[in-house]
Amino acid sequence: MEVIIAEKLEKNFGDVRALRGLDLAVPEGVFGFVGVNGAGKTTTIKILLGALRPDSGAASVFGYDCAKESLKIRQKVGVLHEKPSFPKSTTGLDYLVFVAQLYGLPLIEAKNQSKRTLEEVGLFNVAKRPIGSFSAGMMQRLGLAQALVGNPDLIILDEPTANLDPIGRSDLLEMIRKLHADKNVDFLISSHILPELQTVCDHVGIINNGVMLVQGKAQEVVRKHAGHIFKVSVSEPETFLDLIQRSELVEETRRIGDIIWVKAKDATSFQNYVIEMAHRKKLGLSLFQRGDLESALKNLLEANKDD
């Protein structure tokens, strides 16, 4: 069953056409909403929450219409916005209790739930400090906490890994996995930091200029659009580049620092060739990765630029 359905969403801000007929179908599970800056991700999220009215088109979450029944939607949804901001003089705990009560929890339960959530996001030891004294990473964790505290069925995260340190990021991904497994919470994660997204998402949708380019199962999208793109790192890059260019198996190569991007003509024969050569010529192969989400996004954006 689809959690979110959006059809032909259009939204203009003056001359800026933010959405140009966006179609979106988010199934249960973890959905990755991928796109470059300004692609229309945040606008879509605001429309889904009823904070913005689309110029045309319709959207629904859990079967409720976003324009008419947004209150019912918001009761079931927790949101972390791109730049969460909080009243600076309240403490983290007080704020969470306030949010939990808005979600309809009675006071005592709201307090317990807030403490549990603070523990989950790793802010328990600063719970009694005013939010104004929090660091950027702590704010982001608090933003996560306020999205979780109302026991929502769907959690929308807009750029959740911004401002988080590497440990915070892996904690976040772990938490997403756990919530999905234990409580069957669905996720819509908007991000442009793709390697992380790829590790948790079941489905992805790639959006550009307010139009959905591709959506489907993450693995299938990657296989289809980046199956022939390889990331290679070797200790002798010059020899390697020379070698593969002569082999006539590649269409395009690009070297960025130590990493070589290769667009192969035929994935399987290129794979076999590199492995064989690495063994025979002792290239010192340290990374050999077949297409990821990032390559798929780049590939798609390039393909659409030509049109």
Per CB under 8 A, contacts with other proteins among 73-92 are 74-75, 77, 79, 81, 83-87, 89-90
Cβ 111 to other proteins shortest distance, Å: 13
150 binds other proteins (CB under 8 A): yes
Indicate the residue among 31 and 64 with the shorter CB distance to other proteins: 64
Min dist CB 269 to other proteins, Å, is: 51
We find the least distance from the C-beta atom of residue 271 to other proteins, in angstroms, to be 46
Nearer to other proteins, 89 or 125 (CB): 89
* Interaction of residue 51 with other proteins, rule CB under 8 A: yes
Which of 117, 146, 215, 299 contacts other proteins by CB under 8 A? 146
Question: Which segments within 154-201 are labelled E, that is strand?
Answer: 154-158, 186-191
Taking only Cα atoms into account, the Rg of the chain, rounded to an integer number of angstroms, comes to 22
76's enclosing H/E stretch is helix 70-76
- The DSSP 8-state label assigned to residue 150 in this structure reads T
Q: Mapping DSSP to helix (H, G, I), strand (E, B) and coil, where does residue 212 land?
A: strand
Starting at the edge strand that comes first in sequence, how are the strands of the sheet with 211-217 ordered? 77-80, 154-158, 186-191, 30-34, 203-208, 211-217
Q: What is the dihedral of CA 100, 92, 160, 16, to 10 degrees?
A: 80
Stretch that binds other proteins, among 21-29, 67-75, 199-207, 271-279 (CB under 8 A): 67-75
Neighbours of 268 (CB within 10 A): 10
Which of 49/267 has CB closer to other proteins?
49
# chain residues binding other proteins, by CB under 8 A: 25
Site residues for other proteins, window 88-127 (CB under 8 A)?
89-90, 98-99, 101-104
Cβ–Cβ under 8 Å, residues 116 and 159: no
Q: Distance between CA 11 and CA 79 in Å, rounded?
A: 21
Nearer to other proteins, 24 or 73 (CB): 73
d(CA 307, CA 304): 5
User: CA 227, 232, 238: angle at the middle one, nearest 5?
Assistant: 135
d(CA 156, CA 260): 35
Nearer to other proteins, 39 or 155 (CB): 155
Instruction: Decide: 143 and 81 in contact? Cβ < 8 Å.
Output: yes
Taking the least distance from each CB to other proteins, the nearer of 139 and 179 is: 139
Per-residue mark of binding to other proteins, 270-289 (x: CB under 8 A)? --------------------
Stretch that binds other proteins, among 68-76, 134-142, 205-213, 288-296 (CB under 8 A): 68-76
The one among 71, 108, 181, 256 contacting other proteins by CB under 8 A:
71
Among 5, 25, 36, 49, the residue binding other proteins under the rule CB under 8 A is: 49
132-139 LR contacts (CB < 8 Å, sep 24+): 132/88, 132/89, 134/92, 136/163, 137/163, 137/164, 137/165, 137/168, 139/84, 139/86, 139/163
Q: How far is the CB of 243 from other proteins (least distance, A)?
A: 54
Rule CB under 8 A: say whether 53 interacts with other proteins.
no
- Is the CB of 45 or the CB of 204 nearer to other proteins? 45
Q: Which residues bind other proteins (CB under 8 A)?
A: 46, 49-51, 71, 74-75, 77, 79, 81, 83-87, 89-90, 98-99, 101-104, 146, 150
